């Protein structure tokens, strides 16, 4: 009754660590490998991405202009393609 199986002994030794049976520490997906290779081949890639983002998205918003635009909006009629005056 004092004998333990090798698996039980292994599990007992791993009790302090997280018991994730699906853990694959050395695995890298093909996408991760591709991105790592791309970053190695082109070290300025992240800086270029930040410049592109700043160009298109990171803009200061003039809140007064947005408010004026929203207040000046004319409500759309329910039937926009109806041409008669009814």
Q: pTM of whole model > 0.85?
A: no
Taking the C-alpha atoms of residue 55 and residue 78, their distance in angstroms, rounded to an integer, is 37
Taking the C-alpha atoms of residue 74 and residue 16, their distance in angstroms, rounded to an integer, is 66
For the residues 32-61, what does the mean pLDDT come to?
92
- What is the tens place of the pLDDT at every residue in 15-43? 545 567 777 778 889 999 999 999 999 99
Taking the C-alpha atoms of residue 12 and residue 6, their distance in angstroms, rounded to an integer, is 10
């Amino acid at each position: 009754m004092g004998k333990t199986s090798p698996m039980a002994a292994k599990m007992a030794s791993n009790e302090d660590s997280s018991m994730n049976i699906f853990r694959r520490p050395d695995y890298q997906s093909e996408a991760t490998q591709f991105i790592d290779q791309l970053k190695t081949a082109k070290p300025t890639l992240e800086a270029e991405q930040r410049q592109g983002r700043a160009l298109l998205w990171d803009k200061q918003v003039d809140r007064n202009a947005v408010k004026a635009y929203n207040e000046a909006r004319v409500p759309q009629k329910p039937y926009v393609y109806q041409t008669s005056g009814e």
